[in-house]
Structure 1
Amino acid sequence: MSEPPWRYLVALGSNVRHAATGAPPRVVAAAMARLNTGETRVIARSRIMPSDPVGPSLRRYANAAVVVETALDPPALLSLLHGIERDFGRRRVGQKWRARTLDLDIVLWSGGRWSDRRLTIPHAQFRGRDFVLRPACDIARDWRDPVSGLSVGHLCARVLKQAS
């Protein structure tokens, strides 16, 4: 396991307008800026990309990814991310995959694997999600999934090939 500061690949998504911030792409941009303050430093950011919804939500998403550097361990970073989501109006109740103002997920980290009752890294479903892999490929193409051993670039190419 590497030593702090840790690097994390974090996925961002929004498909609901925020009263103060505006449309979903602006929500994602504001969340990226918020991740570059305090205990985390953004060292790479992807473009903000549109994507179709997963599950019952009907609204299109704005998605992006960032690489952040921090001394926080995975549970502490997760708590910080949940706090940012709450600040943007996110409520973790009700139906999965519903419309949301902001969703922040830890996808990978420089420490390899992590698992406890609240969090699993790598993110369990990222390998099949183009809306995570396309932005991640912009900034972390060479990062490796510690489970499959494949790079983010390779995983992205697989998902895009399956979609075509």
Structure 2
Amino acid sequence: MRRSTYLVAVGSNRVGRHGRPRGEVAAALRLLGGRASPIIASAPLGPSTRTFANAAVLIESDEAPAELLKRLKRIERAFGRRTGRRWGARVIDLDIILWSGGRIATPTLTVPHRAFRTRSFVLAPALAIAPAWRDPVTGRSVRQLHTRLTARRPAPRSREHCWGP
């Protein structure tokens, strides 16, 4: 396998052995190495009520995507992540978002990540470290995807008519 670059999203919303969620994310970023974004706070997704700490990291690796996924799952387990509820609290969450090799779809891994285009907590950190990286599906850059997601849109015009008193 030739050397690849990966964009990995890192998130936490539960206290673990490295402290509060921000500490868990910082510890994961140190372990992964590479070029990391700033850590941001974001609202929970789904039924969780705990605020998330999120970041992204660019890593270089000789691992194939499936091998990197296995390594990321081992790191999650080492941090104390438990499997269970899909949207539940988690000590650490590590997701492969983009890969310099383009696309891959297997029963256990889809890259680009299916939902990354609609998640500002992924796009905002990614924008800080990989603004020009193009989504192989849409052809849009991370910057363009983030702008599309966060752009203010005008309120719809009302079709009601005022006929007076």
Q: Do they superpose with TM above 0.5? A: yes
Determine the structure 2 residue equivalent to 1:112: 102
Structure 1 residue 92 displacement after superposition: 1.9
Q: Is 1:145 matched up with 2:142?
A: no
Q: Which residue of 2 aligns with 1:6?
A: 4
Q: Given the alignment of the two structures, is residue 158 of structure 1 paired with residue 148 of structure 2, yes or no?
A: yes
SS at match of 1:96: coil
Normalised by the size of structure 2, how large is the TM-score? 0.90
Bigger Rg, structure 1 or 2: 2
Could you tell me which residue of structure 1 aligns to residue 69 of structure 2?
78
Question: Which portions of structure 1, spanning 4 or more consecutive aligned residues, are displaced by more than 6 angstroms?
Answer: none
* Cα distance, 1:49 vs structure 2: 0.2
Distance 1:57 1:162, change over 3 A: farther
Q: Distance in 2 between matches of 1:161 and 1:30?
A: 32
2:82 aligns with one of 85, 91, 95: 91
**Paired residues, number:** 154
Note the C-alpha offset of 1:162.
5.6
- Alignment partner, residue 21 of structure 1: 18
Structure 1 position 96, deviation (Å)? 1.2
Could you tell me the percent identity over the aligned residues?
49
Distance 1:92 1:9 in 2: 23
Question: Unpaired segments of 5 or more residues in structure 1?
Answer: 37-41
- Cα distance in 2 for partners of 1:50, 1:4 equals 35
Amino acid at match of 2:113: H
- After TM superposition, give the deviation of residue 8 of structure 1 in Å: 0.1
